[in-house]
Amino acid sequence: MEKKLWGGRFKESTNKLVEQFTESVSYDKRLAPFDIAGSVAHVRMLAKQGILSKEEADRIVEGLHKVLEEVESGKFEWKTELEDVHMNVEKRLTELVGPVGGKLHTGRSRNDQVATDVRLYVRHEIEEVLKLLKELRRAFLKQAEEHIDVVMPGYTHLQIAQPVLYSHHMLAYYHMFKRDEERFRDTLKRVNVSPLGSAALAGTSYPLDREFTAELLGFEGVTRNSMDAVSDRDFVAETIFNCAMVMMHLSRLSEELIIWSTEEFGFIELPDAFCTGSSIMPQKKNPDVSELTRGKTGRVYGDLMAILTILKGLPLTYNRDLQEDKEPLFDALDTVKMALKVNALVVAGMKPKAERMREQARKGFSLATDLADYLAKKGMPFREAHRVVGELVAYCLDTGKELDQLTLEEFKRFSDLFGEDVLSLMSVEGSVNSRNVIGGTAREQVLKEIERIKSEESF
């Protein structure tokens, strides 16, 4: 029988069904560039420490580079019977350079090897996500700059609450995705430590220089406990959680874009290139990108639940269950990257319908809080002012009027504190600009925030 690389103590060959059930190369082959990078660093360190000769190390490194060329060109033959990316690479290396290839694994286990590969992969992917998050934030900032004077209704409970600037609304999303960036950057601190040299679980008797391999691979340090190092997948769960948060924010955005693009709202026009039509109704323009983003959010939530469930019952140290960490990780990152790419283009291309937004901003008694504040500034206790304005709203409902349609005489029926100046207060622009505090929706504050963002980010 053909022996596995680990098959010295076995008398029977592996059952074919077991090979199918236990293989991971069908999906973990994407780790090949990181696996090879880790191996190159490991063999360089072995030579530095005198564990391998320089000639042996050079030959192995040259072979590894040839394997990488085959992988990148698509010529590499992946074999399921070799189980995973590590065994496939090592077997091909040995075919290329001979028995010396078997020395690559000196002082190393697949346990610390895969932990290193996944950390290198996650670090690379986080850098990609950070770039995409920045592009999306750029799109929101551009919307805010270009439509600084557009007024729209702000909502609570999906009921018209107070007028706000459209640009202020856009910057709310900017800050959502800025927090996502901060979360990923914080996660990088825990990702970017090297487990290489922890071996199977207890470290190794070889005189390895772990700091040297960490430096070669761009890690900021090394793990401090070999048992934790080979079994830790917290950074995987944390990365998937960060992806889930991004998708949640994208889903909130998607929900609003779907609503805003309806005939009933009519707040925005989505770009045609990011919508689809109906197979039966020729008039339809469907916001499929937003709907699919909303739907794919549940998929990434599932990835998060999967990794948490995989980890929850594992005793120290490595268990084969950890092979199952990769598919949810890969899926979450793939999904979030595509969602960020496409939604950045949607946001950049959408157009607000300013007249419709302003028209709706003055409805729903959106100026009621301004009236209550007006009375409070005149000396009336706010709770009393709240009651008076509530009665005013009831009067408007009975008469079919909006607050900005009332005369001074009508205002005075409810309080003598109302003066001529109350009439000039009754505009959505006046309401917006009265909220001139840091973080408020006043035009002055929004412009300051735009400039602050531009000074901090290299857009």
Supply the residues annotated as catalytic. 157, 278
Q: Which contiguous run of DSSP H or E holds residue 156?
A: strand 151-156
Q: What ranges make up the beta strands (E) of 290-373?
A: 351-352
For residue 415, count other CB atoms closer than 10 A to its CB.
19
- In three-state secondary structure terms, 458 is coil
Query: What tokens does 76 get?
Result: 């590499």
Q: Let me know: does 439 contact 397? Beta carbons within 8 Å.
A: no
- Bridge partners of residue 164, in order along the sequence: 152
Pairing state between β 351-352 and 268-269: antiparallel
226: left (phi over 0), alpha (psi -120 to 50) or beta: alpha
- In three-state secondary structure terms, 351 is strand
168: left (phi over 0), alpha (psi -120 to 50) or beta: alpha
Q: Let me know: does 89 contact 39? Beta carbons within 8 Å.
A: yes
Task: Find all residues with CB under 8 Å of 393, minimum gap 6, and list them.
Answer: 365, 368, 403
Q: Let me know: does 252 contact 80? Beta carbons within 8 Å.
A: no
Question: 261-267: long-range contacts at Cβ-Cβ below 8 A with a sequence spacing of 24 or more?
Answer: 261/285, 261/287, 265/360, 266/353, 266/356, 267/152, 267/352, 267/353, 267/356, 267/357, 267/360
Q: Using the structure block, give the residue that is written with the tokens 């290193």.
A: 116
Q: Which one-letter amino acid corresponds to residue 264? A: E
Question: In degrees, to the nearest 5, what angle opens at C-alpha 365 toward C-alphas 359 and 367?
Answer: 90
Which of 346, 340, 309 is CA-nearest to residue 324?
309
Give dist(CA 308, CA 424) in Å, integer: 57
Give dist(CA 70, CA 243) in Å, integer: 32
Q: For the CA atoms of the chain, what is the radius of gyration? A: 31
